[in-house]
A and B are shown apart, each in its own frame.
Chain A
Amino acid sequence: AQSVSQHNHHVILSEAASLELGCNYSYGGTVNLFWYVQYPGQHLQLLLKYFSGDPLVKGIKGFEAEFIKSKFSFNLRKPSVQWSDTAEYFCAVNSDFNKFYFGSGTKLNVKP
């Protein structure tokens, strides 16, 4: 079975600090990669995705992620976080054609 690892379980930052959340996956074949976000009391929603092409992808709200195939990584970044970014972030991998694998999530708490 595939696995997705998110090493940061809980991150606390002050507003304007930079953010990087790590994501590593175990599958060696073709993958599609996603970051989903769950704001308090809301549905999971897509932040950004990588299918192919430019390994640096940009998503909503100033987030970006870089796919590094040699490292099996898809780290999420934001140069300057805001209080409204407080949420739980999930990395997900689509492999085995129709199956999805999610990481354990990272809870981000941004202090105003």
Chain B
Amino acid sequence: EAQVTQNPRYLITVTGKKLTVTCSQNMNHEYMSWYRQDPGLGLRQIYYSMNVEVTDKGDVPEGYKVSRKEKRNFPLILESPSPNQTSLYFCASSSASGWGDIQYFGAGTRLSVL
């Protein structure tokens, strides 16, 4: 089954404790992206990647890092989480460069930073 898998689904952590949210897709997609969803703000793009070793900033990249060492994986790293990063996070992938293509979303990771 074609899917985008995020782990963990739920995470509670404390300020300053580094964490990684994993994202994996099994569709051989080139384009992958991370979003955060906050009430009243919709989804905002954090980072995206057009292919292996190619990443770029979205609208709200501050406080986040990403890497794309393999085509299927695109982890999101919070090196020193803060309470304002409490949010619902989605990973997505699409088959082409991203331009005009349909994105497939993961189930989301709900993060609480205390």
Contact = CB atoms under 8 A, between A and B. Distances in A.
Contacts of A102: 35, 42-44
A49 B58 contact: no
A97 B99 CA distance: 6
B56 interface: yes
Interface string B64-86: 00000000000000000000000
Given A46-B102, A49-B102, A98 B48 contact: yes
Contacts of B97: 97-98
Interface residues on A, range: 20 to 34
B1 interface: no
Interface residues of B, number: 28
Interface of B: 4, 31, 33, 35, 40-45, 48, 50, 56, 58-59, 90, 92, 97-100, 102-108
A99 B59 contact: yes
A44 interface: yes
Given A9-B40, A44-B105, 13 more contacts: A1-B59, A6-B42, A32-B100, A45-B105, A49-B102, A90-B43, A92-B43, A94-B100, A98-B48, A98-B97, A98-B99, A100-B33, A105-B42
Interface string A53-70: 000000000000000000
A93 B40 CA distance: 17
B42 A103 contact: yes
A46 B90 CA distance: 15
